[in-house]
Amino acid sequence: MSHIIQNNAFLQGPLQRVIEIYEQQVVPRLTTKNKTIGITTAVVMTLVYLIRDRVFKPPRNLRHIPYQGYYDFIKSIYTKETYWDRAHRWTLPFIDSKSSNGLYMRPGRFGYEVHVVNPEAAKKVFLKQDLFPKLDVLKGKERTLNAKFANGPNLVFLNGPHWKTQRMVANPAFHRAQPIQLFGKLTQDLFERMDRLGETADVHDLMERFTLEAIGRAGFGFEFNAIKEDNSPWVHTYNTVNAALQNPWYFLFPSLDQSLLWLSPKRQAAHRELDRFMDMLSEVIKKKRRDIASGVENKHLPDNEKDVLTLLIENEDKGEGALSDEELRSNLHILFLAGHDTTSNALSFALLYLAKYPKIQERAREEILGIMGDEPSEIVPGFDDLKQMDYLNQIIKETLRVNGPVVQVVPRVALEDTELAGTFIPKGSNVIVDVFNIQHSKKVWENPDEFDPDRFDPKSAPKQLSGGAMSWVPFGSGARQCIGMNFSLNEQRVLLSMMLRKYTWSLPEDSVHYGKIETRGLGIISPAKCHLQFKKRYQ
C-alpha cells in the first residue's frame, strides 16, 4: 500500500487537469442548489483514479483498525472542511464511543496512517523513539516545495546519532536565547503600527509580522522590517512561500509539485520565491560568520544576550560540536516554521478568545496590573514578572489545548511488530499522534470544547479525566519535544501581558466567531477572518 501512495501511481496527468478544470471552471458556475451535485461529481472524478482494492482499503494487516475511507477524506478536502469540523463530524464521535480504544486510520500522504488518540498509547510513541523513529517524509519528495523548505538534515526530521549530535549542539543555544527585552521592544513597535490602523485591526496579520520580526532578530540578527513597513519584501516572500506550503493538494499529491509542476505557473512562482528565501538565509549565515570573526554583535540584543545562530556557530569554537552551513540553513528553515508560523497562530487564537470572553480578559488584566502596575506607560516585563503570571499561563495553555496550531506530530514508523492500546501494530506501519483529537476527547477532558483556563489551575478541582501529562501535548513530548517551546511561550507571555495593559479589545459586530471559533488550514491551523476592535487604556 505505502509504495502505491508514495509513488502516486494513481495520480496521472489527467487527474491534475480534472482538479484544475473543476476549481477554475466548474466551482464558479455552481449555484447553491446544485453545489452538492457538483461536489459529489468532483469527488467521483477523483475516485475514478483510486479504484483498486489496495487504494480504497488499508493493507490487509491493518484492516482490524477502524478507518476513514478515501471517499470521505477526498470529499472533505474538496469542500474545504476545517480540521475542527472534520474531527467533530467523524473522528471524535468514533473515538469517544465505548467501543473505541483511541486508535483509527485515515488516508494521508504516505498511505493509510494509524492515528493515536489514546494518551497512554501516545506516551509509548513519544518515549520509545527507538521503536517509533520519525518517518523519512522527504524521501522521494526532494523536489517538492515542502522538501525544499525542510532543506536537508535538521532536528525535526533526523533520527539516531545524527539527530542526537544536532540536539546536543542546539540545546544550549535554545535554552540561553530568551530575549525578553527584544520581545518587549517589538511589542512597542507593534503598538505604533496599531495606532496607524484605527480601531479595527487584522490580528492575524499583526501577529505574523510580530513573530516574523522576532525570529529574524532573535534567531539570527536579521531585520525583516515586518512591523514597520507595510510592503516589506521579505514579508511578501515568506508569506507567499508559507501559503504555498499549506496547499493540501500539493501536500497530499507530491507529483503535482514534481513531474506535473509545469501545469501551474503560480506554483512555479512559489518555487522561485522559496529559492530566493533560501539564498537569503545562506547569505545571513555567511554574514554571521564574518560578524563573529570580526567581533560584531547583534545590535538588537543586550550585551549579555546572543541570537540562536550566533550561539550555534560559537559552539564550534568551544568544542561543543559543529553544524555545517547546510545543517544551519536547514535548522533555520525549521526555526522559521516553528518560531514564526505556529506562534503567530497561537497568539491570534489567544487574542481572539480573550475578545470572545471579556470576563476572562478582565481577570487576566487584573493579574497583569497587579504584577506590572497600571502606570500609563509601556512597561516591558522581566523574567521575574513572567514567573508570576499564573492565570495568563493558564490562558495560553488552554488556547493551545482548544486550538493549538499543530494538530498532529510528524509521522513515526514502527520498526518492529508491536502493540498500542492492546491493538496489534505491524512492522512498517506509519503512526501519528493526533494532538487535536487527544485534546478534544471526552474520554480525556471534561467539556473539551469549552474554553476554560481554570482547568489548568492546580488549586481547583481537576477537569482532566485521564492521560496525565500526555493529555496536553501541543509541543509533542519526550526527547523529541519542540526545542523552541520556551522561546514561544515567553514570546506569548510578553506580548499578551503588554497588550492587556495597553488595550481592551472585543469582537466586531460582523465577526464570524460569535458561535464557535472559525478556523482554516490542514496541518497548521489558524483563525479565519481574525479582525478585532481595540480601545486604548492610555495614550
Q: Which domains does the chain have, with CATH numbers?
A: 88-130+406-469 (3.30.43.20), 160-405+474-536 (1.10.630.10)
Q: Cα separation of 144 and 255, whole Å?
A: 8
Q: How confident is the model at residue 335 (pLDDT cuts 50, 70, 90)?
A: confident
Confidence (pLDDT) at 139: 75
Of 155-164, 476-485, 488-497, the range with the lowest mean pLDDT is: 155-164
Q: How confident is the model at residue 43 (pLDDT cuts 50, 70, 90)?
A: low
Question: Residue range 2-24: average pLDDT?
Answer: 44
Q: What angle do CA 389, 394, 398 make, to 5 degrees?
A: 150
Confidence (pLDDT) at 221: 80
Confidence (pLDDT) at 253: 79
Q: Which residue has the cell 530575549?
A: 179
Q: Nearest Cα to 442, choosing from 434, 450, 454?
A: 450
What pLDDT, in 10s, does the model give residues 341-373?
899 999 999 999 999 999 999 999 999 999 999
**Average pLDDT score, the chain:** 84
Residues comprising the chain, all counted: 539
Cell numbers placing 459:
488549586
Question: Residue range 413-426: average pLDDT?
Answer: 96
Of 96-105, 127-136, 143-152, the range with the lowest mean pLDDT is: 143-152
Of 13-22, 415-424, 495-504, the range with the lowest mean pLDDT is: 13-22
- β-sheet bridge partners, residue 420: 423
Please tell me what DSSP assigns to residue 262: G
Q: Nearest Cα to 24, choosing from 9, 42, 40, 36?
A: 42
Q: Nearest Cα to 244, choosing from 260, 227, 225, 268?
A: 268
Q: Which position has the higher pLDDT, 60 or 416?
A: 416
Q: Nearest Cα to 252, choosing from 397, 393, 46?
A: 46
Contacts of 357 (CB under 8 A, 6+ apart): 451
CA atoms 102, 95, 107, 252: torsion sign? negative
- β-sheet bridge partners, residue 200: 533
pLDDT at 334 exceeding the cut of 90: no
Confidence (pLDDT) at 2: 32
Q: Which position has the higher pLDDT, 109 or 364?
A: 364
Contact 176, 311 (CB under 8 A): yes
pLDDT at 54 exceeding the cut of 50: no
SS3 336: helix
Residue 482, annotated as binding a ligand: yes
User: At 505, which helix (H) or strand (E)?
Assistant: strand 503-506
CA atoms 316, 234, 346, 374: torsion sign? positive
Confidence (pLDDT) at 303: 61
Neighbours of 13 (CB within 10 A): 11
Confidence (pLDDT) at 355: 98
Contact 439, 448 (CB under 8 A): yes
Query: Roughly how many angstroms between the first and final C-alpha of the chain, as a whole number?
Result: 63
Q: What angle do CA 296, 338, 279 make, to 5 degrees?
A: 55
Q: Which position has the higher pLDDT, 45 or 349?
A: 349
Question: Residue range 218-231: average pLDDT?
Answer: 84
Of 12-26, 61-75, 374-388, the range with the lowest mean pLDDT is: 12-26
Confidence (pLDDT) at 72: 86
Contact 394, 458 (CB under 8 A): no
User: At 423, which helix (H) or strand (E)?
Assistant: strand 423-425
Burial of 351 by CB count in 10 Å (0-12 exposed, 13-18 middle, 19+ buried)?
buried
